[in-house]
Chain A
Amino acid sequence: GDSVTQMEGPVTLSEEAFLTINCTYTATGYPSLFWYVQYPGEGLQLLLKATKADDKGSNKGFEATYRKETTSFHLEKGSVQVSDSAVYFCALGDTGRRALTFGSGTRLQVQP
């Protein structure tokens, strides 16, 4: 079945550092890929998405590129801020099953 694997957290960075959170997936067909962010005490918010190979999703300085050859969708940001501290979830959407499959989440802690 479909699955998403994310790097273990927590990831601890200093403000203005470069961020990479790895995400790889297993799926049949051609899924859509998503990154969601969850701030403390809140629900998940869609951060960015890509619907086909080589698409780049971007939002709020975050980027991720859909790499079919490596089945990856790594999240990057050039300069993190304390306000980026949150849990980040990678997810895939299978056209045959409408529900998303989520990774286990990666906690990011940004220190001033």
Chain B
Amino acid sequence: DAGVIQSPRHEVTEMGQEVTLRCKPISGHDYLFWYRQTMMRGLELLIYFNNNVPIDDSGMPEDRFSAKMPNASFSTLKIQPSEPRDSAVYFCASSYSPGLGYTFGSGTRLTVV
């Protein structure tokens, strides 16, 4: 198995532009999580899905952020418009049983200038 696959690995964009981050979970994993990591705030849960349905989006910072999971093998996290304070590493993780832990992707490092 190739693990959780995220793209792109790095993204540099200008303030105000739309940014789309992508994630392919491990096949058979019913849960998908999006986290954001910064020096100041550490790891923050943004949203998670179960069977493609958003279950908890209370961590999504504001309306500029949206996430979708159109099918079991693909999810996107979109920021529109992007701001410099959105600069962070965004991780996707998947699991078939969260009580046994997750598998994380390698992350997307986003820089908004």
In the complex, identify which listed stretch (A13-21, A71-79, A97-105) lies at the interface while the others stay far away.
A97-105
* A to B contact number (C-beta, < 8 Å): 51
Interface residues on B, range: 20 to 34
Give Cα distance in the complex from A32 to B97, angstroms: 12
Choose among A36, A41, A97, A100 the residue with the greatest number of B CB atoms under 10 Å from its CB: A100
Q: Is the CB of A99 within 8 A of B104?
A: no
Give Cα distance in the complex from A49 to B100, angstroms: 8
Q: Is the CB of B43 within 8 A of A98?
A: no
Which chain A residues in 54-112 approach chain B with CB under 8 Å? 89, 93, 95, 97-100, 102-105
> How many chain A residues have a CB neighbour from B under 8 Å?
22
Q: Is the CB of A105 within 8 A of B42?
A: yes
A27 interface residue per 8 A CB criterion: no
Give Cα distance in the complex from A45 to B4, angstroms: 12
Give Cα distance in the complex from A104 to B40, angstroms: 10
B25 interface residue per 8 A CB criterion: no
Give Cα distance in the complex from A100 to B42, angstroms: 13
Q: Is the CB of A43 within 8 A of B105?
A: yes
For residue B49, give the distance in angstroms from its CB to the closest CB of chain A.
10
For residue B99, give the distance in angstroms from its CB to the closest CB of chain A.
5
Q: Give 11 A-B contacts (CB < 8 Å), ordered by A residue.
A: A42-B107, A43-B91, A43-B104, A43-B107, A44-B91, A51-B100, A93-B98, A93-B99, A98-B50, A98-B98, A103-B42
